[in-house]
Amino acid sequence: MPKLDRYLLRDFVQSFLATLIVLLTVSLGGVLVDVLGEIADGGLPARLLLSQLGLQLLVYLPLVLPLALMLGLMLAVARLYRDSEMAVLNAVGVGPRRLLRPLLMTVLPVAAAVGLCSLWLGPWAQRTAARMVEQAHRSLIVAGLEPGRFTALPGGGGIVYIDGMSEDGRQLQGVFLQREREGRVDVVTARTGSLEFEGDRDRYLRLLDGHRLEGPLETGLDFRLMRYAVNEVALPDRTETRQSDDPALAPTWALLGDARPSAVAELHARLTPPLLALAFALLTVPLARSSPRQQRYGRALLGFLAYLVGVNLMFIGIRLLADGEVPRMLGLWWLTVPLLALSVWLYLRDGRLPRPRKEAA
């Protein structure tokens, strides 16, 4: 490999990795907020925090990697112009087209990684996350119940305290439950209990050998105390689980023969990110052109805005496809093909070196 290619490749890769670390840190914070919100709403158990965080981050990688690649390459190319290195290269007959080899050596592996995440890792992460949540819904752990701690059930369903729990979260000992409804307080205790299911979503506690005290919440003496052998208490409805035929959970190969508009939209949503990564990477060289005294971050902001426009158009196209307002054969090719053609044309046009002037005799 020529020394110039090694120098440029090292510069491109270092700038890309630095930008990627920053964007991953920001994305991790946003994903963490979403996961914590689901845990607070009772849709996820706290023990799935780290696993769900990692899986959701894989889902967002096809959007983060192209942006990190574009911004990293723009900063690297802008530095070449700012430090007058491009001027020196142009003086010796090396134009921007000469950057294509090290540029592709950086871009193609990243575009392949984007395709891998978009076509395989992302759907796998969504299926795995949905399966883990579904398994958690089959246990009391989804309500956040832990032995020796008072826990508020989601939706104001009451407060629960338990002395012990089996490993699978189905059997429990020493149950205390306090609920408020219609101006009355209901306190239930039980020696043992278990979690039972009825249908896909309904679940209830089956309490054995306990006492129940019911009375007014504020004033009054209308209290009732009873002892029971079996008492069934309905738990608040858990969050909706994703359907098994959801296109977002299907493997990519299964979407190829699916004619549903939602499946077509999901297929194009997975095919578009690697093409966008390639197109925006080729746009970095013409967009990053600047004079030595010009601020390089202004061009980076222009590239970021161009990326936002392209991604927003992608999301709009996906919604139109899912609603059946765009023909299936057209898909998102109306976005990717012109964008790729425009990026190639701008790159080739920017790479022309000025012809030397002929002096008059």
Q: Identify the bridge partners of residue 164 per DSSP, sorted by sequence position.
A: 173
How much is the pLDDT for 294?
61
Residue 271: pLDDT band (50, 70, 90) is very high
202-216 vs 184-198, strand pairing mode: antiparallel
Q: What is the mean pLDDT of the chain?
A: 81
* pLDDT: which is higher, 146 or 155: 146
Give yes or no for residue 140 having a pLDDT over 70. no
Residue 77: pLDDT band (50, 70, 90) is confident
Give yes or no for residue 87 having a pLDDT over 50. yes
* pLDDT: which is higher, 128 or 4: 128
Pick the most confident of 119-123, 136-140, 152-156, 159-163. 119-123
Residue 27: CB atoms within 10 Å: 18
Pick the most confident of 90-99, 139-148, 209-218. 209-218
Angstrom distance (rounded) from CA 213 to CA 118: 55
Angstrom distance (rounded) from CA 330 to CA 328: 5
* pLDDT: which is higher, 156 or 226: 226
Angstrom distance (rounded) from CA 65 to CA 47: 28
| Helix or strand run (H / E) with residue 26 | helix 3-40
SS3 78: helix
Angstrom distance (rounded) from CA 14 to CA 46: 37
Give yes or no for residue 361 having a pLDDT over 50. no
| Helix or strand run (H / E) with residue 194 | strand 184-198
Residues 6+ apart with CB under 8 A from 149: 161
Angle between helices 49-82 and 261-288 (to 10 degrees): 30
* pLDDT: which is higher, 240 or 256: 256
Q: 351 near 97, Cβ under 8 Å?
A: yes
SS3 252: helix
How much is the pLDDT for 142?
46
* pLDDT: which is higher, 300 or 75: 75
